[in-house]
Amino acid sequence: MLPAAGSISSLVAGLWLLNIVLDTSGQLAFKAAAGNPLAGDGLARWKHMAARPWLWLGIACYVIEFLVWIAFLSLIPLSEGVLLGSINIVAIMVAGRFLFGEKLTRLRVIGILLVTLGVTIVGVAG
Amino acid sequence: MRRFYLFGFLLLMGFDTLSQISFKYAGTQALPVAASVAWLLRVFGQPWVYGAIVGYVGAFFTWMSLLKHAPIGPAFAASHLEVVSVMLLSVWLFDEHLTVPRVLGAIAIIAGIVCLGLAESREHTPEPAA
């Protein structure tokens, strides 16, 4: 799944991987922040979230990801970059399966495989 | 109501597209990439980065209001289908080429996103009584 070393520099590959890690961690942190049913509603819920690290971890991930993505896109064509970035969808679903026990139905597995196939084609030959 | 969804999905795609185009302009103008304050100053010293932020914020609020009303499956798909508009615009704005691997990859990715959107729809619609 890693882009071939020939077509893409190691800096680009590193930024791509970092983007996946940050995007997935950020999403999962928001999920952990928002998913607590004991937190109440409205303002109480926001206070509950703000007093715990998950929300802030999520925000930190997104801020760093913002910069990583700018650096990534400045090094490769935009049309290639957005396609390679689609792998985040897969990473989040797989992580959700392992950490939150979310179900991977057959249709989801097909979707994940198709997105992965597309990203691989672009990464290897893009 | 259908027109409301369609407008919402298009607005979401529009904001996401604006972000990606702005990211590309911002990054290109801040080259060379370096883990340094100088690079950060170059990024935030030109207007495009703020276009990206506007796109992000706009997409966030559009997404939130769509989720309140629209079915999750199509909303999920629409939130990721900006790859199509971004690819087409990058040909026009950045003189990029739609190479065969990129087109094939895009087709597979879009098919995958549609499958995932359908999966979301199924999970969130109540099953008809057997």
Of A47-51, A71-75, A109-113, B93-97, least confident by mean pLDDT is A47-51
Shortest Cα distance from A81 to chain B (angstroms)?
9
Q: Do A108 and B99 touch (CB under 8 A)?
A: no
Any idea where the domains of chain B sit in the sequence? Answer: 2-124
pLDDT on residue A48: 81
pLDDT on residue A99: 85
- Chain B residue closest to A105 (CA)? B119
Q: Read off the pLDDT of residues B6-28 as tens digits, 9 standing for 90 and up.
A: 888 899 999 999 999 999 999 99
Is pLDDT at B32 greater than 80 in this prediction?
yes
Task: Give the mean model confidence (pLDDT) for residues A20-46.
Answer: 82
- Closest Cα to residue A108, out of B124, B123, B107? B123
pLDDT on residue A4: 46
Task: Give the mean model confidence (pLDDT) for residues A60-79.
Answer: 95
A70 chain-B contacts, CB cut-off 8 A? 23, 26-27, 30, 43, 49, 52
Q: Do A111 and B114 touch (CB under 8 A)?
A: yes
Is pLDDT at A126 greater than 50 in this prediction?
yes
pLDDT on residue B13: 92
Task: Give the mean model confidence (pLDDT) for residues B44-64.
Answer: 92
Decide if B109 contacts A114 (C-beta within 8 A): yes
pLDDT on residue A39: 66
For an interface test with B, the pick among A74, A75, A84, A97 (most B C-beta atoms closer than 10 Å) comes out as A74
Decide if B63 contacts B5 (C-beta within 8 A): no
Task: Give the mean model confidence (pLDDT) for residues A26-37.
Answer: 82
Q: Do B98 and A86 touch (CB under 8 A)?
A: no
Task: Tell whether B28 is within 8 A of chain A (Cβ).
Answer: yes
Decide if A61 contacts A26 (C-beta within 8 A): yes
Residues of B (38-77) whose Cβ lies below 8 Å from A: 39-40, 43, 49, 52, 56
Task: Tell whether A66 is within 8 A of chain B (Cβ).
Answer: yes
Pairwise pLDDT comparison (A123 vs A100), residue with the higher score: A123
ipTM, two decimals, is: 0.87
Task: Give the mean model confidence (pLDDT) for residues A42-57.
Answer: 84
CA dist B73 and B113 (Å) reads 10
Distances (CA, A) of B47 to B22, B23, B61: 9, 11, 22
Is pLDDT at A1 greater than 80 in this prediction?
no
B125 chain-A contacts, CB cut-off 8 A? none
pLDDT on residue A3: 44
Burial zone of B51 (CB within 10 Å; 0-12 exposed, 13-18 middle, 19+ buried): middle
Is pLDDT at A51 greater than 90 in this prediction?
no
Is pLDDT at B63 greater than 80 in this prediction?
yes
Find how far residue B100's CA is from the centre of its chain: 22
Q: Count other Cβ atoms within 10 Å, centred on residue B118.
A: 19
Q: Read off the pLDDT of residues A57-67 as tens digits, 9 standing for 90 and up.
A: 999 999 999 99
- Chain B residue closest to A84 (CA)? B105
Is pLDDT at B34 greater than 80 in this prediction?
yes
Q: Read off the pLDDT of residues B71-117 as tens digits, 9 standing for 90 and up.
A: 777 777 877 889 999 999 999 999 999 999 999 999 999 999 999 98
pLDDT on residue B69: 75
Identify whether B128 is preceded by a cis peptide bond (ω within 30 of 0): no
pLDDT on residue A2: 45
